[in-house]
Amino acid sequence: MIEQFPAGHDSTIDARLKPSRYDVPAPRPDPAAHTDRRPARDLIEAVVHNMQKNLEPLKYSTLAPSRFIVYLHPGEYARLEGIIPVLQEQTIRALSDEILRLNRRSGLRRWVGRLMGDAEPEIRKAGVEWHVDFLADPDGEMNEGDLLIDSELVLPARPDLGMGERTRRITTAHTGHRTTTREQTVNRLPSGSTASPLARISYNDDSGHHSYDVVKDSITIGRGGIAYPVDVRVAASPDVSREHARIRRDPKTGRFFVIDLSSLGTTLNGRHVPKGYDDVDGARRENGAETPLPDSARIGLADTVFLEFERVS
């Protein structure tokens, strides 16, 4: 039966308005669908990239770090928790494959180098086994989709220079489309040596009174965090930067210096010291500015926490 419409009636309007048995209600928007999710394969590639940044050439081999920690936003960690064993397995496989690839690529150069007496060393992992851990961000610093990777490479001791083992830590942070890399080397005293205090620091923060013996030539002070390992961790408001200041000792002269790395400033006996970094293309680069420390000094962190510094020897 053909439906009749009055004269002048636009049947296309009714056709558009009339429900059809094929019409499906539009799905309601899911707020979670708009959250940036990083594909799991990105984690594997990021670990491999970090390893490439932390290679150390020696005379007969090039060492690659074998221990990695991958930090994820708690929500991202919860989403991937069930497949973390698979992630670990495939990340280890990718690291092994990358070392094989790098060694194959440089194989011809090593062969030519042997003929020329300048062979390129083979790459191998520093440890016996690979260790890759995936952890949730414990400090609440990361946004959904952010990724932070730490690798540590233990470098050989140099007794001739009075240096013990050194641990080089490479931290790679992936936030959105931006990747930043930080490097820190921690010197350890040679085995058998005793660590006599070079200076002492005492202070009060939100968790009480603290005292710290300075036994090495460089220490970092701040609130700390997974991307900001510090020697003196201060419990304070965000006015104190995660990496706020560094105290450096010149091993030749024994003199101490303070370097401001903060956003809100560092004071020495009530006076602000110059910033020790410049902002270059959105990245912080240390500029070498440092201020001599007297044997007894009061160091202020953003006028919030004050450290009493005393030179011992």
Instruction: Indicate if the pLDDT at residue 146 is higher than 80.
Output: yes
Residue ranges per domain, the chain? 37-187, 199-311
**Contact (CB, 8 A) for 153 and 63:** yes
Domain 37-187 and domain 199-311, same fold? Reply is no
Query: What pLDDT, in 10s, does the model give residues 281-313?
Result: 656 778 889 999 999 999 999 999 999 999 996
Q: What is the CATH number of domain 199-311?
A: 2.60.200.20
Instruction: Indicate if the pLDDT at residue 20 is higher than 50.
Output: no
Choices 3.30.2320.60, 3.10.450.50, 1.10.10.10, 3.40.50.1390: CATH for 37-187 = 3.30.2320.60
Q: What percent of the chain has pLDDT over 90?
A: 50
**H-type alpha helices, 27-83:** 40-53, 74-80
The pLDDT value recorded for residue 15 is: 42
Contacts of 164 (CB under 8 A, 6+ apart): 157, 187, 188, 189, 190, 191, 193
Query: What pLDDT, in 10s, does the model give residues 33-73?
Result: 444 678 899 999 999 999 998 998 888 889 999 999 999 99
Give the span between the Cα atoms of 172 and 182, in whole angstroms.
Answer: 6
